[in-house]
Amino acid sequence: MTAYRPTPRTTPTRYRERARYDRKTVHDILDEALVCHLGYLGAGGPVVLPTTHARHGETLYLHGSTGGGPMLAARAAKASGSGLPVCVTATLVDALVLARAAMHHSVNFRSVVVRGDARVVDDPAEKSRALRCLLDHIRPGRAADCRAPNERELAATGVLALDLVEVSAKVRTGAPVDDPEDVALPHWAGVVPLRLTAGTPAPAVDLDPATPVPSYLHP
Amino acid sequence: MTAYRPTPRTTPTRYRERARYDRKTVHDILDEALVCHLGYLGAGGPVVLPTTHARHGETLYLHGSTGGGPMLAARAAKASGSGLPVCVTATLVDALVLARAAMHHSVNFRSVVVRGDARVVDDPAEKSRALRCLLDHIRPGRAADCRAPNERELAATGVLALDLVEVSAKVRTGAPVDDPEDVALPHWAGVVPLRLTAGTPAPAVDLDPATPVPSYLHP
């Protein structure tokens, strides 16, 4: 697959962090991350909010209440004929990295930064598709196994779309990188792997006990 | 403890999400989150970057390369006598929330949003303290068990400070909230707990095998 257009460099590459622009790396991170952080310029300055997202091909969908800040800002931008300039960042933390030197401590992580003008999705077909993607992002298969939104609910839900054009991923993997003169110091060095693990599904108290746990929730 | 000044409402309260302004809730979320997302207005629009952070009392410290985007922007702001307007958001994801209705799917989460003007920390004593806090944020005790930064390293590391003044937390807990008419639908409903778990520490290949795993890395 072809590469994305790089975002402007905001931080220099250091340690074993590597900027990546290939689509598979970007897609995998966006698909694995359960939430992202949406940044935009609010009336009082920058605003960063956690939100759920889903990728459909080369489009990232975000949703929220039609009365929420991002949606109101995007609606206002649309009224003046433009999209809402945003930055959407998804980050996965894979390990703590402990070096002998304070300076070389780090975190193994994978992140994607997407910048661009988000547009409000008003087309009913695209909106429904986006909401199905958001449900399947929770667990693939869920969209087909719940009650679809009715007209009132659809009207109360805002959807933003952001095309994956100006995109970069950054990935740090591996061990700490100490300076040679520090290697013999008596401090422990290495990585502590981290993983987001799912526990046993807990049914709602009012769920019919005969309802089986769906296969898409099995570990 | 007294409460923080609320941030402007950006999204309405819905489901069981509750805005919180008490310091203990805010402190606990900031202290537990391994990374946060720093938003500021870059030359080309909003920028959101993942970064590590640490809280010291009522101050949040962030660090990065002195040549990185946020640090350069903060340095430019300082040169003109001001701080850099930022929004720093830390989010912990606690569970997937599956409702019968598509509309009521959610995520149990705890998040903190801090807004304000970040200042560059140039005072050597405060900078050293901030870096120790950042190390102890990885695991309490680590700051005293590694090689402290030398002058060259200190000079290459930028530290930003953000006072906890305009702060809010948002917390969603508990079960899905379905409409009464949906409760009898045949779809599984409940929560899937999520937890960031640490695996077995993996020593660096060049670590003296006699070096014990420090107690602060024990589960």
- Give buried/exposed letters for B46-73 (b at 16+ CB in 10 A, else e): bbbbbbbbbbbeebbbbbbbeebbbbbb
Q: Does the CB of A17 have a partner CB in chain B at under 8 Å?
A: no
Q: Distance between CA atoms of B142 and B165, rounded to whole angstroms?
A: 28
Q: How confident is the model at residue B9 (pLDDT cuts 50, 70, 90)?
A: very low
**For residues B178 and B149, is the Cβ–Cβ distance under 8 A?**
no
What architecture is the B18-173 domain classified under in CATH? Roll (2.30)
Q: Of B39, B93, B156, which has the smallest distance from its Cβ to A46's Cβ? A: B39
SS3 label, residue A160:
strand
Residues B87-115 have a mean pLDDT of 97
Q: Does the CB of B155 have a partner CB in chain A at under 8 Å?
A: no
Single-letter code of the amino acid located at A103: M
Residues B133-150 have a mean pLDDT of 97
Is the pLDDT at B38 greater than 60? The verdict is yes
> Residue A148: phi, psi to the nearest 5?
-60, 155
**For residues A130 and A61, is the Cβ–Cβ distance under 8 A?**
yes
Exposed, middle or buried by CB within 10 Å (0-12, 13-18, 19+), for B160?
Answer: buried
Is the pLDDT at B23 greater than 90? The verdict is yes
Cβ <8 Å between B188 and A201: yes
Is the pLDDT at B144 greater than 80? The verdict is yes
SS3 label, residue A147:
strand
pTM of the model: 0.93
Is the pLDDT at B75 greater than 90? The verdict is yes
Residue of A nearest to B177 (CA): A204
Q: Does the CB of A4 have a partner CB in chain B at under 8 Å?
A: no
**For residues A23 and A4, is the Cβ–Cβ distance under 8 A?**
yes
**For residues B138 and A98, is the Cβ–Cβ distance under 8 A?**
yes
Per-residue pLDDT, A14: 36
- DSSP secondary structure string, chain B? -PBPBPPPP-S---TTEEEE-BHHHHHHHHHH-SEEEEEEEETTEEEEEEEEEEEETTEEEEEEETTSHHHHHHHHHHHTTS-EEEEEEEEEEEEEEE-SBGGG-EEEEEEEEEEEEEEE---HHHHHHHHHHHHHHHSTT-TTSSBPP-HHHHHHEEEEEEESSEEEEEEE-SS----GGGTTSSS--EEEEEEEEE---EE-TTS-TTPPPPGGG--
Cβ <8 Å between A46 and B201: no
- Out of B15-29, B137-151, B193-207, least confident range: B15-29
Q: Of A41, A43, A103, which has the smallest distance from its Cβ to B41's Cβ? A: A41
Give the pLDDT means over successive 10-residue stretches in chain A (219 positions).
Answer: 53 53 94 98 95 97 90 96 97 98 96 97 95 97 97 92 95 95 97 97 96 93
Q: Distance between CA atoms of A181 and A101, rounded to whole angstroms?
A: 10
pLDDT in tens, B148-194: 999 999 998 999 999 999 999 999 999 999 999 999 999 999 999 99
Q: Which of A34, A78, A88 shows the shortest CA–CA distance to A197?
A: A34
Q: Distance between CA atoms of A128 and A138, rounded to whole angstroms?
A: 16
Q: Which residues from chain A sit within 8 angstroms of residue B66, using beta carbons? A: none
Per-residue pLDDT, A10: 44
Is the pLDDT at B87 greater than 70? The verdict is yes
Q: Which residues from chain B sit within 8 angstroms of residue A65, using beta carbons? A: 11-12, 14
Q: Which residues from chain A sit within 8 angstroms of residue B190, using beta carbons? A: 201-204, 207
Q: How confident is the model at residue B15 (pLDDT cuts 50, 70, 90)?
A: very low
**For residues B15 and B104, is the Cβ–Cβ distance under 8 A?**
yes
Per-residue pLDDT, B24: 94
The C-alpha of A15 sits at a distance from chain B's nearest C-alpha, in angstroms, of: 12
Residue of B nearest to A200 (CA): B192
Q: Does the CB of B195 have a partner CB in chain A at under 8 Å?
A: yes
Tokens of A87: 């930055």
Of all helices (H) and strands (E), which one includes residue A172? Answer: strand A166-172
In chain A, % helix, strand, coil (3-state, to 5) comes to 25, 40, 35
CA distances A51 to A22, A56, A70, A88, B121, Å, are 24, 16, 11, 10, 31
- DSSP secondary structure string, A51-73? EEEEEETTEEEEEEETTSHHHHH
Cβ <8 Å between B65 and A196: no
Cβ <8 Å between A204 and B212: no
Q: Which residues from chain B sit within 8 angstroms of residue A38, using beta carbons? A: 48
The C-alpha of B180 sits at a distance from chain A's nearest C-alpha, in angstroms, of: 10
Per-residue pLDDT, B64: 83
Q: With a CB-CB cutoff of 8 Å, which residues 113-152 of chain B face chain A?
A: 113, 115, 131, 134-135, 138-139, 142-143, 145-149
Pairing mode, strands A166-172 and A190-198: unpaired
Q: Distance between CA atoms of A8 and A150, rounded to whole angstroms?
A: 42
Q: Does the CB of B181 have a partner CB in chain A at under 8 Å?
A: no
Q: Which residues from chain B sit within 8 angstroms of residue A44, using beta carbons? A: 8, 115
Cβ <8 Å between A197 and B197: yes
Global ipTM = 0.93
Q: Which residues from chain A sit within 8 angstroms of residue B208, using beta carbons? A: 184, 186
pLDDT in tens, A120-142: 999 999 999 999 999 999 999 99
Q: Does the CB of A41 have a partner CB in chain B at under 8 Å?
A: yes
SS3 label, residue A156:
helix
pLDDT in tens, A176-198: 999 999 999 999 999 999 999 99
Quickly count: other Cβ atoms within 10 Å of residue B146's Cβ.
Answer: 24
Cβ <8 Å between B87 and A113: no
Q: Which neighbouring-strand residues pair with B41?
A: B46
Q: How confident is the model at residue B1 (pLDDT cuts 50, 70, 90)?
A: very low
